[in-house]
Structure 1
């Protein structure tokens, strides 16, 4: 699935051969979408003769055959969202139907008959049906799935009802991405070892498969992730990530072989057909696109699929370096991008959103924009990030706005000492949760000369009350003593950028803070983008925000320290 820039950015399902360019399967008049659990995901699945998908209102499920227009086969109520689509062996469609107070797993027939298989007052995800046995995930409404979730089995045959049994998971164990494998075994990712690794449930016993000190799955902000698949010869293809670099591995018994060695970032969507694995991958010089790896050949690189989307950047991109700085809290890793002249100059420290996100080693146009204007850019894998295990991910709990700020400042100070950055031109920026980090960095003494906060969270407590139910536990568990961003505490110039149509964070809160700051100093700036969403996904909004940000930094550098 990809957005279509020729039709206002609507999302369409694409099909591509190994040689020809991709073509759209769905019409721009019926966009694909959905907001199950606020962030959507799992919005389409391909069957033998039907493509099933969720409409962008989230309330309708469509079936699209080889001929004719899509047919609406299921419709939910006003507060209902569909997602997590999956097919059973008999082509029966499964879906999660989420509501404000309860979730359901339903089956949908070709004629549109909807049957409720499971209902829960918690959250549900990843229905997988095999031989009448339904496997699915469940977690409580006061938890996030990457903190505590359960994998359950239930008898889904008509006329049968039985209590579901828990296979794995607890308040201290996250279980994600279940999948029925060869021989009727049930596979899933679990962090019971401290890392999200692949496990198998067979004959009543759970065993680890291919243990590695890396996370093999990301935090499931969206549905539909599948970070592994099975080959026709009995092997398993899976991804690993250390928070920066991704790898694709073929595991066959005790033998492990690296695939797609030319890719450095791989999204959590692995499709295996026979002895070919397809992934969405990227490199520091190429944007994300579809690649295929031949599992029977000697170790080597993946090849691009189709004829589009594989062109490198229009200029020579210097690959970033993976760096480590030691602090009193341990080793801290970050990506460092340098400009071509490699002389000391301005530095931009970027705090990623999430904060359960990572720092993927891939082409990022925002980073390249600043590098092309002479900035070095450091992307910090601060405490709370994913890819470095459960303990590191949870280390930010109760310390949001403190530990993340400390880590960003540690990297900035190190780069000033090492001569990469000039001390009076060090800036920090972040979006969403990273915007909160940037604003809190502006509220304490440190190395930064200015801060940009885009689509930022201003007051975590108020934000917790306003976000959808799925996200409320995340806001609650992160909250620490830093609290709301208060204008009287801000010590450096701040630029606040927000889209007026943001449904995830409050533009009103951001602009109120901007007005309060403007009353104290003309050094502070604001930019409200009419119609802009949380991600500023519209190209015009993105360009305006980047131009405003770099102009803001230049004004500070021209004025010099106050």
Structure 2
């Protein structure tokens, strides 16, 4: 493929539109909120600050807001590499995981002084839970030894004494206490299972000292479940009944544990009430004192939030206009959550449980006025085997630019791959639509939010099913006349980078150019180098290389580099411990040897998933310039 380099390209051609929204502005609005916790007076959360890459704890009370994290600290867990549950609130103080050393620190709410509660340099912590009755924390401990990486649930007193609660499973998540603090529940699973394929719901009786007297696996009780199921998000209601989400019916729905250990369903919509639990202590449902649940769910690609009575099923919907909800918390009077909409990437909502009045406590500021935002349109289309695939279509949008010509199309392939994209404001997408690109943000088969069967379509089919969906989306939009068939581009990061590169193998010269951000190009190498949490993931996605070695040749962009003719720009962090830099280096070299135009930019201080604002802005600018270089002019 030869580039068309016309210096006199018309400014009004889509793809070359100018915009007041710079790359720096697009990434400056990349703040986010997580780990909401509250008591009767206050709400705390962790807020990512893109300007310096720190994650800081903020507090809200009716008197105002303040940041609690002193200089030199950042609250972020790296357990399982993806973290979560890095903050909990006790009476008069808080506890958090410090990003640099992964130890737990105690901080006062008045003097704000910090002191280390743990000093185990070979361990990381997350999933923090306060056990006020015993003046201690319960936490997930990840211990890195020369022999192995081990996980266990531990108790750590407010003075630093440590005691093991339970161990022996490969992984743990979401510990929770009953109101009387005499029962503890959690999720655990063993290799080769993944937290979205098969887990166990565990329940233990504790003595007054907090030691386990007895424990049982709820999932081992014979019931209507006829296949493996994935439990998540256990919690006790005010009467001491244990609730959870499980996908035994095909969706992650709320269930109640009966006295005999069996499960009974709780009234709910037939839809996923949570995404895949990549992080610790997710909270998408929440038991409230009046026999009701606050819960969120995905329906047709859009999120909903409601109060629903657990017996009668009466439902009251909340927070209209928002499409994604997470990190629910409540003190019985107010409900808090992180929400997103087509006009706001993230906001912390305060909802009165009596009046349902809504207040925005904090929100990521908008970069564009509402009338300029390209809003997501639901994208449904037929793909392989006649199955339906999902996504969102964003038309080009710029009030100062217009063109009768169909716009160029940029395909977004999300990472994970067992993850999803949502119908909430993403300034990266707006950066492109402002410049005349249409964007198709795909939830290819294998994405979460559409039930277990859809989520499991990637099992053994990674690099096949997702690629089918990419190419079918292109055909669907071209056939409908919504995009320029001669100017199709594709980008993806991490697992999305793999789907992008595999799409180039399958598509011939269908794409004008592509971008891979720390993308997987050699799945076999990734399998060897990856961390414990994902050690069996590649086998689930492709197969055991001992049984199906040919798949790792057929589905390796590196091995199939001779089939790629599309120009590619690569972005790679040199500190990346997931997709090692040498993997990208080998892919770049293989394409150059085939005569494919390639550009590669590396960033010395970046890991897997770029965080520095300068890096993020440079990526957008360089990617745009690369696409424009290869744009077919009208």
Q: Under TM normalisation by the shorter chain, which class is it?
A: over 0.9
Equivalent of residue 140 in structure 1, options 190, 196, 208: 190
Distance 1:236 1:426, change over 3 A: same
Instruction: Determine whether 1:293 maps to 2:351.
Output: yes
Deviation at 1:318, TM superposition (A): 2.7
Instruction: Determine whether 1:199 maps to 2:255.
Output: yes
Contact 1:58–1:83 under 8 Å retained in 2: no
Q: Which residue of 1 aligns with 2:358?
A: 302
**Residue pairs, 1:483-522, within 5 angstroms:** 483-486=555-558, 487-521=561-595
Contact 1:427–1:450 under 8 Å retained in 2: yes
* Secondary structure of 1:164 counterpart: strand
Equivalent of residue 542 in structure 1, options 604, 613, 616: 616
Residues 259-306 of structure 1, C-alpha deviations (whole Å, 9 max, x = no match): 10121122x2001222321111121122212112223226xx732115
Q: Which residue of 1 aligns with 2:368?
A: 313
Q: Which residue of 2 aligns with 1:45?
A: 88
Q: Which residue of 1 aligns with 2:68?
A: 25
Q: Which residue of 1 aligns with 2:48?
A: 3
Residues 71-103 of structure 1, C-alpha deviations (whole Å, 9 max, x = no match): 21122242x211110123525310011234432
Q: Which residue of 1 aligns with 2:331?
A: 273
Distance (whole Å) between structure 2 residues aligned to residue 333 and residue 556 of structure 1: 28
Q: Which residue of 1 aligns with 2:174?
A: 126
Instruction: Determine whether 1:554 maps to 2:625.
Output: no
Deviation at 1:55, TM superposition (A): 1.3
Q: TM-score, normalised by structure 1?
A: 0.93
Q: Which residue of 1 aligns with 2:342?
A: 284
Relative to structure 2, which stretch is displaced further, 142-151 or 326-335? 326-335
**Bigger relative contact order (CA 8 A; separation at least 6):** 2
Q: Which residue of 2 aligns with 1:344?
A: 406
Distance 1:159 1:526, change over 3 A: closer
Distance (whole Å) between structure 1 residues aligned to residue 107 and residue 484 of structure 2: 58
Deviation at 1:121, TM superposition (A): 4.0
Unaligned 5+ segments in structure 2 are 1-45, 544-550
Deviation at 1:510, TM superposition (A): 0.7
**Residue pairs, 1:2-401, within 5 angstroms:** 2-5=47-50, 8-17=52-61, 20=64, 22-57=65-100, 59-66=102-109, 67-78=111-122, 80-90=123-133, 91-99=135-143, 100-130=148-178, 131-157=181-207, 158=209, 162-168=213-219, 172-204=228-260, 205-242=262-299, 244-252=301-309, 253-266=312-325, 268-297=326-355, 302-306=358-362, 309-311=364-366, 313-314=368-369, 316-327=372-383, 328-340=385-397, 341=402, 343-401=405-463
Contact 2:573–2:602 under 8 Å retained in 1: yes
Distance 1:19 1:281, change over 3 A: farther
Q: Which residue of 1 aligns with 2:20?
A: none
Unaligned 5+ segments in structure 1 are none
Q: Which residue of 2 aligns with 1:453?
A: 516
* Secondary structure of 2:616 counterpart: helix
Relative to structure 2, which stretch is displaced further, 118-127 or 335-344? 335-344
Q: TM-score, normalised by structure 2?
A: 0.83
Distance (whole Å) between structure 1 residues aligned to residue 124 and residue 633 of structure 2: 51
Distance (whole Å) between structure 1 residues aligned to residue 243 and residue 304 of structure 2: 20
Q: Which residue of 1 aligns with 2:12?
A: none
Contact 1:457–1:506 under 8 Å retained in 2: no
Relative to structure 2, which stretch is displaced further, 544-553 or 433-442? 544-553
Distance 1:528 1:160, change over 3 A: closer
Distance (whole Å) between structure 2 residues aligned to residue 412 and residue 101 of structure 1: 43
Deviation at 1:442, TM superposition (A): 0.6
Deviation at 1:424, TM superposition (A): 1.1
Contact 1:265–1:362 under 8 Å retained in 2: yes
Equivalent of residue 491 in structure 2, options 429, 447, 454: 429
Contact 2:286–2:328 under 8 Å retained in 1: yes
Contact 1:59–1:76 under 8 Å retained in 2: no
